[in-house]
A and B are shown apart, each in its own frame.
Chain A
Amino acid sequence: EAGVAQSPRYKIIEKRQSVAFWCNPISGHATLYWYQQILGQGPKLLIQFQNNGVVDDSQLPKDRFSAERLKGVDSTLKIQPAKLEDSAVYLCASSADTSGGAYEQYFGPGTRLTVT
């Protein structure tokens, strides 16, 4: 079974530039998550999709971040414009969980973003 795919793996941009990340979840997983992980901290949920609908985006800075999951499969996360404090690893995860149960999240390798 193929895991969660993410690209790019690394990205360096200057502040005020734009960047986009792509995620392809495990086939059949209804729920997709984007996390931001700053060095030394745990992952922080940015947005959660179930199929192509948003379940939770309460911690997404909507003035600069946007995400979509067209057709309920792949997803993209965009930052426009980037700030220095956006430097972090952006993790995508997917899960078969839709209503509870022992459904763990499977994480992709992440995209390490550096904003200079």
Chain B
Amino acid sequence: GQNIDQPTEMTATEGAIVQINCTYQTSGFNGLFWYQQHAGEAPTFLSYNVLDGLEEKGRFSSFLSRSKGYSYLLLKELQMKDSASYLCAVRDWAGGGNKLTFGTGTQLKVEL
């Protein structure tokens, strides 16, 4: 099984930088995803890491350390529209196929 931990809620100011952490425990690690989910909508893909290091995509960056079972999502130049839930999801190779397990999500509130 898997154990994925991320903070329940975070608040940040428009224009600032925020880092959302995720720790996980798994036996067959095969990649880590970050998804964004606005209230009442489906999750949408943000980033993917399978090797250690930083992946940058515009205002969003994601970091992975496999030895520490740790990832973070970094959001720069925060905008009001970034208020959403951010889901960390770990993919396991589970005999026969990949399985994606989601954390409970971090609700980010961006304030003026």
Contacts and interface: CB of A to CB of B under 8 A. Distances in A.
A56 B91 CA distance: 13
Q: Interface range on chain B: under 10, 10 to 19, 20 to 34, or 35 or more?
A: 20 to 34
A107 B42 contact: yes
Interface in A74-106: 91, 97-100, 102, 104-106
B101 to A, nearest CB: 7
Contacts of A35: 102
A25 interface: no
A85 to B, nearest CB: 17
Interface residues of A, number: 26
Majority-rule SS of B interface residues: strand
Interface stretch (B12-20, B44-52, B65-73): B44-52
Contact of A104 (B33, B87, B99): B33
B58 interface: no
Contact of A42 (B30, B50, B105): B105
Nearest to B33: A104
A40 B45 CA distance: 19
B102 A107 contact: no
A44 B103 CA distance: 9
B102 A104 contact: no
Contacts of A31: 97
A99 B42 CA distance: 24
B97 A42 contact: no
13 contacts: A35-B102, A41-B105, A43-B102, A45-B100, A45-B101, A50-B97, A55-B97, A55-B99, A91-B42, A91-B43, A98-B97, A100-B31, A109-B42
Interface of A: 31, 33, 35, 40-45, 48, 50, 55-56, 91, 97-100, 102, 104-110
